[in-house]
Amino acid sequence: MTSMRSTRAGMPAMRMLALALALATLPGMARTPQANPLPVPAHGVVGVADAQLSPDFWIARAQAPDAPLMTRAAIDARNARLLREDTSMHDLAALPATLASKQVAGWITGLASPPTRALWDEAGNPVAKAVLDAIVANRALDAIPASQPTRFGMAVQRAALRAFPTALRVFNSNDDADIDRFQESALFPGDPVVGEEGTGQLRQADQRHVAELVARHASMGLGRTVGRTQVLDWIDRGAHAADSDRYWTLDPIDGTKGFLRAEQYAVALALIEKGQVVLGVLGCPNLPRCHGAGVLMTAVNGRGSRMMPLDAGDCDGRMIAVSEAAEASSARFCESVESGHSDQSQSARIARVLGITQAPVRMDSQCKYAAVARGDAEIYLRMPTRADYQEKIWDHAAGMLVVKEAGGRVTDITGKPLDFSRGRTLAANSGVVATNGRIHDAVVAAIAQTSEAQAPA
């Protein structure tokens, strides 16, 4: 028993080290100067070829380029929602012919309110209060006329959207230069993140050496030295309670043991709004593709699922769809490698009830969702191993949407939709079933049949 307790106690630390290793090896994380930097083309967008600036390039790659993506009514509803939820957006046709100074000043103040906390510049130096005061004064609110005709402008070339009339870049800390706080084009910078990783064990004195290893590997990936405390604080940014209307949920290494075995693992990211998953991304570095391995799958609610190579590769991005298999007996199913994650014995009984003779494909992580979404399998079963276990949202949100938007169906083992409105877990659900949709009801019925047979008399 002592050995088992030691193994379990070491798992969080192992996940942290695996996370640091993954960050250190991802090409996109390296910040050291490249020996042969990419040339900057005339159009100014590095990595984009001239042909990609032509509409014909993208039209030729669309499966149905003439199919409407949204109806007129859907567009009007989307615009109405945008105007309702984002006070910085305005219906130009509804603006009055004349604007009062109070209204204009209110708009400016709403987007460029005076800083209330200390800020640092690109060199890591604190920005003096006098400098910030001068920047705020440059808004020149007192120079706005009492009233003036409404005028419109249009940006005709790439431009930075700045909150204040200054080129000074400022940041919330002296060692985090990721988001310029005066740059208004950052995507959702205030959204909280809900993640699995926590540092409770790593902050214990007897785990300091492991925390130092995590910091060392993070430094290698970032190309600059970062301290142990700082890295632990970064990891704890995912400790949000999942109780807001909008947040991201992230599992940076879904399938830790698969990652350590150099087998299947995934980076899973999803955006949840009012309990609904609206965007999902799965990065599967070892999942096979047309030539080689490594795919990225994306899904937007109501817009379908798409797969593309993780690198430049030799495969174009394309829409994906689940298998059209209509007979459960011919289905291929996948489940977790670890028996502690899913009741594999019950999965075998379900397969027998359905008449499935093929052996299950066992793989780690949300790559199982990816397999169903692109038609490699028709069933993914995650059967509860104990009655009180609650699935975690980061283990399912991205994969669920990828399957759903590819035409499949995802529920719990009783057929109930997954409920992402209960915080960090799927507290209202038991287990998970993902299928191509056509055989979903048969699978759920088989689960019920085997569960009844196993129930105590």
The string of DSSP letters for 238-302 reads: GB--S-SSEEEEEEEEESHHHHHTTS--EEEEEEEETTEEEEEEEEEEEEE-SSSEEEEEEEETT
Residue with structure tokens 């695996």? Answer: 18
Domain housing 385: 328-454
Reading across the β-sheet that carries 409-411, which strands appear in turn? 361-362, 333-335, 379-382, 432-435, 409-411
Residue with structure tokens 């969080």? Answer: 12
What mean pLDDT is predicted for residues 347-352? 92
pLDDT of residue 9: 43
What values do phi and psi take at 194, rounded to 5? -110, 120
Residue with structure tokens 């925390």? Answer: 211
Find the helix or strand (DSSP H, E) in which 24 lies. Answer: helix 2-25
Q: Which long-range contacts (CB under 8 A, 24 or more apart) does 287-293 make?
A: 287/367, 287/370, 287/371, 289/313, 289/315, 290/314, 290/315, 291/315
Q: Is the per-residue pLDDT at 11 higher than 80?
A: no
Q: Is the per-residue pLDDT at 189 higher than 60?
A: no
Q: Is the per-residue pLDDT at 380 higher than 50?
A: yes
Residue 108: other Cβ atoms inside 10 A: 16
pLDDT of residue 218: 87
Residue 239, in any domain of the structure? no
pLDDT of residue 30: 40
Provide CB contacts within 8 A for 56, sequence distance 6+: none
Residue 344, in any domain of the structure? yes
Structural domains in the chain (count): 1
C-alpha span between 364 and 362 (Å, rounded): 7
pLDDT in tens, 192-250: 899 988 888 899 999 999 999 999 988 888 788 888 888 888 888 888 889 888 899 99
- Of the two residues 187 and 371, the one the predictor is more confident about is 371
pLDDT in tens, 78-103: 888 888 877 777 888 889 999 999 99
Residue 335, in any domain of the structure? yes
C-alpha span between 373 and 436 (Å, rounded): 8
pLDDT of residue 173: 76
Residue 58, in any domain of the structure? no
Residue 76, in any domain of the structure? no
13 and 209 Cβ atoms separated by less than 8 Å:
no
CATH of the domain at 350: 3.40.190.80
**Measured over all CA atoms, what is the biggest interatomic distance in the chain, rounded to whole angstroms?**
83
What mean pLDDT is predicted for residues 35-47? 62
Q: Is the per-residue pLDDT at 338 higher than 50?
A: yes
Between 47-61, 117-131, 174-188, 384-398, the lowest mean confidence (pLDDT) is in 174-188
Find the helix or strand (DSSP H, E) in which 420 lies. Answer: none
Single-letter amino acid, residue 209 = H
Residue 414, in any domain of the structure? yes
C-alpha span between 358 and 447 (Å, rounded): 18
Between 79-88, 96-105, 107-116, 416-425, the lowest mean confidence (pLDDT) is in 79-88
Residue 54, in any domain of the structure? no
Single-letter amino acid, residue 98 = T
- Enter the DSSP assignment of 392: B
Q: SS3 for 63? A: coil
- Enter the DSSP assignment of 38: P
Alpha helices in 208-255 (DSSP H): 208-222, 228-235
Residue 107, in any domain of the structure? no
Between 36-40, 69-73, 87-91, 372-376, the lowest mean confidence (pLDDT) is in 36-40
pLDDT of residue 1: 38
pLDDT of residue 352: 93
Tokens (6 digits) for 283 = 């990065």
- Of the two residues 324 and 359, the one the predictor is more confident about is 324
78 and 300 Cβ atoms separated by less than 8 Å:
no
pLDDT in tens, 273-326: 999 999 999 999 999 987 789 999 999 998 899 999 887 655 667 899 999 999
Q: SS3 for 295? A: strand
